Amino acid sequence: MDLRSVIGKAVFKEPGGKTLHEARARQKAFLQRTDALIAEARGQAALTSDELLEVLPGLDCSG
């Protein structure tokens, strides 16, 4: 299965922070979000609607 077509992107990026310390502090949560999104795309886990909106901030479900 091509996960890029399911997720809509091949590279996951977000700002790390202004300092190395901030980037290291944010790294764990970023990896957890990307791993959860990939697992959902593979059908291995289920995200709630709120979690999905958090992981895909560009997704607008308001209609």
pLDDT tens digits for range 29-55? 888 888 888 888 887 766 677 777 777
Strands, E assignment, 1-63: none
d(C-alpha 21, C-alpha 25), whole Å: 6
Contacts 24+ apart (CB under 8 A), 53-60: 56/8
The answer to whether the pTM exceeds 0.85 is no
**Domain spans, the chain:** 20-55
Interval 12-17 mean pLDDT: 86
| Alpha-carbon separation of residue 2 from 8, 27, 40 (angstroms) | 10, 25, 13
Between residues 52 and 4, the one the model is more confident about: 4
pLDDT above 80 for 28: yes
